[in-house]
């Protein structure tokens, strides 16, 4: 069967032969054995409903074995035989070009060069899933191949509920992931309901088909690291020879060494999984691999002396690095951590002094022992960080729940008031006030032709638009504009593409809309093929997360999720091709609600109308909320936008002088 015929088939008519698990695959962590005997039967009953009854006897035993071995039913047998990668949009069988674009994005998220655990349909973060199982993938692609322009596919945590009549203006796909009744949103709830096959953890861009490989986070990390050095170095002082110490080389975290190189520093990034470190080295995202501490210490000293720009992956535990650098009196300028601590008990973070293999055994066979060892390591980790910060290290939480889990483990990370953390979130200290409040966030696009020359042309278009906007930009946003102009000019030489021909930069509403219009005009002229627009959920408006995206909201509303919900609904009726809303993300299930979108530009007048309406709201929804929270930068930005857009009218905050409140009697 051809590629197109396989997609149109969906669930095959003949039961495929079982597939051996690839010996060289990067396996997902084995999940907890959390279901009762009755619940295991229910999980298998749930899985079998995708298949005809005559297959049930054979598949029941197979799925029971998967559940026992992996803690999940992935249905390996049904993984398609064709290569999973982003093809040209014209290669997909579709009645609707928007549907073909979504198929392309789904395949890109499952490309082994992009995905962390592709066999288990996990894109990044250890549990960020595109689908729960391969049957869902097959059905979804079949539905998309049949979709017409007045239908919408509704997806419940990876499960394609079906095609429903809608309208040309409606989104083609609506995605929800992990949307639980609030009291059933704890980590063990996710383990249980995911094992039953009724929900999944979509992370952020994984479950919304908008992940573009580590490039997406490279840019945000670059902006963060550059501005962090600006906070700690003298004006004009170079980061060359200065150390940025962190951990994690899996999915999103794999961007850190590349970002460190772009920021011109020494990056030391620890990773306990050798396969993950080797993969990033092979992809060119990290310069050197070292697996023993004496060699690491010597190499770092040499790099300091020579003021090198170099990234080093240390295959081992980051706690050992913090402690050894303390003993060796190696000064760390910037410190952070980007391990998947939103998922601490299932492989997101590994204990020190235990092998990677033994840790994986404990996860499955002795989960309580594993949890105890993780929490002991977190306390030790926090203690080492505290000793370095006492010597002048600038440490920031990278939004991965490090401080949250360290505090729960009893680590010394709380401020004197016992409420706040003693270290800031990178959003709280850097991206929030410097970028998000002004409306700058991770705008991204994918050239659906798959042609590198199309990406080159879009890079040039974006750079030209930004240069023109910068000429008339106020002083408050000149640094952001220049950083992104520099980024887009250097993007190709930094070899950022993995998987699809994609790009990202930080832009505000004006920048996003003008770049998008310029793309649409170029498509209309036949200069480039169709383009998919999107963004990370980690943005101005898309996410309500009290310890990350909205950590610089101080009016008490950072624990509410109104903004993210309004964002996805508002984008949906303003022209998005697909929208998504998720419980969970980089900081953990039950800790965040985040929304995303995708939009296909096809060169039409309708696409221009949609992009202008949707992109304006997508950004300014968040600026308005941040302004209402009394954030000065957001107040400046929303007033500027209202002057630029007469039909935008936003409620502004009347701020209260401190003396009005100081003598009140409570």
Q: Are 377 and 407 in contact (CB under 8 A)?
A: no
Task: Find all residues with CB under 8 Å of 558, minimum gap 6, and list them.
Answer: 544, 546, 550, 551
Q: Beta 502-507 vs 441-447: how paired, if at all?
A: antiparallel
- Strand-pairing partners, residue 152, are 164
**129: helix, strand or coil:** strand
Cβ atoms of 205 and 537 closer than 8 Å: yes
Query: Where is the binding site for NAD(+), in residues?
Result: 125-126, 203, 271, 398, 586
Residue 120, CB half-sphere, CA atoms under 13 Å: how many? 29
Task: Provide the 10 A C-beta neighbour count for residue 664.
Answer: 6
Q: Which residues are annotated as a binding site?
A: 125-126, 203, 271, 398, 586
Beta-carbon contacts of residue 637 (< 8 Å; ≥ 6 apart): 437, 438, 439, 508, 623, 627
Count of beta carbons in the 10 Å neighbourhood of residue 165: 9
Q: How many CA atoms lie within 13 A of 267 on its CB side?
A: 34
SS (H, E, C) 526-582: CCCCCEEEEECCCCCCCEECCCCCCCCCCCCHHHCCHHHHHHHHHHHHCCCCEEEEE
DSSP state of 594: E
End-to-end CA distance of the chain: 76
DSSP string, 212-257: BTBHHHHHHHHHHHHHHHHHHSPTT---TT-EEEEE--SSGGGGHH
- Rounded Cα distance between 26 and 559, Å, is 36
Neighbouring residues of 138: CB distance < 8 A, sequence distance ≥ 6: 9, 10, 11, 12, 78, 80
Nearest to 550 by CA among 541, 387, 334: 541
């Amino acid at each position: 069967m051809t590629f197109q015929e396989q997609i149109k088939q969906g669930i095959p008519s003949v039961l495929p032969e079982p597939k051996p698990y690839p010996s060289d695959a990067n396996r997902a962590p084995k999940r907890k054995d959390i279901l009762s005997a009755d619940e295991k039967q229910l999980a298998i009953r749930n899985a079998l409903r995708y298949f005809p009854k005559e297959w049930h006897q054979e598949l029941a035993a197979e799925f029971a074995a998967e559940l026992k071995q992996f803690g999940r039913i992935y249905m390996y047998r049904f993984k398609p035989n064709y290569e999973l990668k982003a093809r040209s949009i014209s290669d997909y069988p579709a009645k609707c070009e928007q549907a073909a674009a979504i198929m392309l994005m789904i395949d890109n998220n499952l490309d082994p060069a992009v995905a962390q655990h592709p066999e288990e349909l996990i894109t990044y973060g250890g549990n960020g899933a595109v689908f729960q199982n391969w049957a869902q993938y097959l059905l979804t692609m079949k539905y998309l191949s049949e979709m017409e322009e007045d239908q919408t596919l509704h997806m419940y945590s990876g499960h394609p509920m079906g095609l429903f009549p809608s309208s040309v203006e409606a989104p083609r796909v609506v995605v929800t992931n992990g949307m639980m009744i609030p009291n059933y949103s704890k980590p063990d709830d996710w383990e249980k309901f995911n094992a039953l096959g009724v929900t999944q953890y979509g992370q952020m861009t994984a479950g919304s088909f908008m992940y573009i490989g580590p490039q997406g986070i490279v840019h945000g990390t670059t902006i963060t690291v550059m501005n962090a050095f600006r906070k700690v170095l003298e004006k004009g002082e170079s980061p060359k020879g200065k150390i940025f110490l962190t951990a994690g080389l899996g999915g999103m975290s794999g961007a850190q060494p590349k970002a460190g190189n772009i920021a011109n520093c020494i990056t030391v990034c620890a990773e306990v999984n050798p396969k993950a470190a080797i993969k990033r080295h092979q992809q060119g995202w990290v310069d050197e691999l070292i697996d023993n501490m004496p060699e690491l210490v010597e190499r770092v000293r040499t790099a300091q002396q020579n003021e090198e720009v170099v990234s080093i992956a240390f295959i081992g535990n980051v706690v050992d690095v913090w402690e050894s650098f303390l003993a060796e009196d190696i000064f760390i300028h910037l410190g952070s951590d980007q391990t998947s601590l939103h998922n601490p008990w299932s492989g997101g973070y590994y204990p020190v002094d235990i092998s990677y293999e033994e840790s994986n055994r404990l996860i499955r066979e002795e989960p309580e022992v594993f949890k105890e060892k993780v929490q002991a390591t977190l306390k030790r980790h926090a203690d080492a960080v505290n000793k370095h910060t006492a010597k002048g290290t600038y440490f920031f939480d990278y939004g991965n729940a490090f401080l949250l889990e360290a505090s729960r483990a009893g680590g010394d990370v709380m401020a004197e008031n016992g409420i706040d953390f003693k270290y800031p979130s990178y959003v709280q200290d850097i991206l929030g006030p410097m970028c998000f409040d002004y409306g700058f966030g991770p705008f991204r696009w994918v050239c659906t032709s798959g042609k590198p020359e199309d990406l080159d042309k879009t890079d040039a278009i974006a750079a030209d638009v930004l240069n023109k906007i910068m000429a008339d930009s106020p002083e408050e946003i000149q640094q952001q504009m220049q950083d992104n102009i520099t980024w887009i000019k250097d993007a190709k030489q930094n070899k950022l593409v993995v998987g699809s021909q994609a790009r990202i930069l930080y832009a505000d509403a004006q920048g996003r809309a003008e770049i998008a219009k310029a793309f649409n005009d170029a498509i209309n002229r036949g200069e480039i093929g169709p383009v998919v627009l999107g963004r990370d959920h980690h943005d101005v408006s898309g996410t309500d997360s009290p310890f990350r995206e909205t950590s610089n909201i101080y009016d008490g509303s950072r624990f509410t999720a109104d903004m993210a919900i309004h964002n996805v609904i508002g984008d949906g009726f303003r022209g998005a091709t697909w929208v998504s809303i998720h419980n969970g993300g980089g900081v953990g299930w039950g800790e965040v609600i985040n929304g995303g979108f995708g939009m296909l530009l096809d060169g039409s007048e309708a696409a221009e109308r949609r992009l202008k309406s949707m992109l304006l709201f997508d950004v300014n929804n968040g600026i308005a909320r941040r302004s209402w929270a009394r954030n000065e930068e957001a107040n400046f930005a929303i007033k500027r936008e209202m002057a630029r857009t007469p039909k935008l009218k936003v409620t502004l905050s009347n701020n209260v002088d401190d003396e009005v409140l100081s003598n009140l009697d409570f």
